[in-house]
Chains A and B, each alone.
Chain A
Amino acid sequence: QVQLVQSGTEVKKPGASVKLSCKASGYTFRSYAVHWVRQAPGQRLEWMGWISAGNGDTKYSQKFQDRVTMTRDTSASTVYMDLSSLRSDDTALYYCARSSSALLLDYWGQGTLVTVSS
């Protein structure tokens, strides 16, 4: 079955960077894109960007364009999301999710909690 397993909880100080991982299994990794979506406390789900697992192409939300980098390791069927210059309002639950050619997010990881606090 399709699974996306994310890395564990992170606690960071303001100004630091965080790198999250999302390991895929149960499907042909290179045939899909992986997106990152975050959910801050009391806020709606917010799309951050996606990476094509096939060719590594990326598209980022303008909001995060200057601070986010998404990469993938096809040999490990894993996607990474690096977010820099962390602020307290980056405290959120970060999800990875899979999509096919349409941008429909069909399977989601369990989420990684990132807390930014001095």
Chain B
Amino acid sequence: DIVMTQSPDSLAVSLGERATINCKSSQSVLYRSNNQNYLAWYQQKLGQPPKLLIYWASTRESGVPDRFSGSGSGTDFTLTISSLQAEDVAVYYCMQFYTTPVFGQGTKLELK
């Protein structure tokens, strides 16, 4: 099974500053035939289900603010929030869907 590992486990960032979360998969999630990385990012606020932010590693879901961006390929991926807003406080998960879904352990993002 593919193992997803996020870093850091928690992160405190000031309002307006950049937040960066990393995700590493134990094997490549790049599907050569369509050159797509089967990697998604989710945001989960307290008491709510996960919300899809990014898929194909870098495609923003409709309605997601453009301060959220995803990058990376193969086994190493990054979620960046360019200018942290108070409403971005949440736990963030990466998920590979190259095979049956596997999630990272989550990164808790807090305000400094």
* Interface contact B52-A95, CB-CB below 8 Å: no
B-side interface mostly: loop
**A residues less than 8 Å from B106 (CB atoms):** 44-45
Interface residues of B in 37-59 (CB under 8 A from A): 38, 40, 48-52, 55
* Interface contact B103-A61, CB-CB below 8 Å: no
**A residues less than 8 Å from B48 (CB atoms):** 110
Q: Find the B residue at minimum CB distance from A96.
A: B49
Interface flags for B61-86 (1: CB within 8 Å of A; 0: not) read 10000000000000000000000000
* Interface contact B49-A111, CB-CB below 8 Å: yes
- State whether the Cβ of A104 lies closer than 8 Å to any Cβ in chain B: yes
Chain B contact-residue range equals: 20 to 34
A106→B56 CA distance, assembly (Å): 12
- State whether the Cβ of A70 lies closer than 8 Å to any Cβ in chain B: no
Binding site for B on A (CB under 8 A): 35, 37, 44-47, 50, 59, 61, 95, 97, 99, 102-111
Interface flags for B9-50 (1: CB within 8 Å of A; 0: not) read 000000000000000000000000000001010000000111
* Interface contact A108-B103, CB-CB below 8 Å: no
A87→B101 CA distance, assembly (Å): 24
* Interface contact A35-B38, CB-CB below 8 Å: no
Q: Least Cβ distance of A26 to chain B in Å?
A: 15
Contacts A45-B93, A102-B38 given; indicate if A37 touches B61 (C-beta within 8 A). Answer: no
Q: Find the A residue at minimum CB distance from B100.
A: A47
Most chain B beta-carbon neighbours within 10 Å: one of A46, A47, A109: A47
* Interface contact B49-A102, CB-CB below 8 Å: no
Q: Least Cβ distance of B31 to chain A in Å?
A: 9
A106→B40 CA distance, assembly (Å): 10
A105→B103 CA distance, assembly (Å): 11
Q: Find the A residue at minimum CB distance from B101.
A: A47
A97→B100 CA distance, assembly (Å): 13
* Interface contact A102-B97, CB-CB below 8 Å: yes
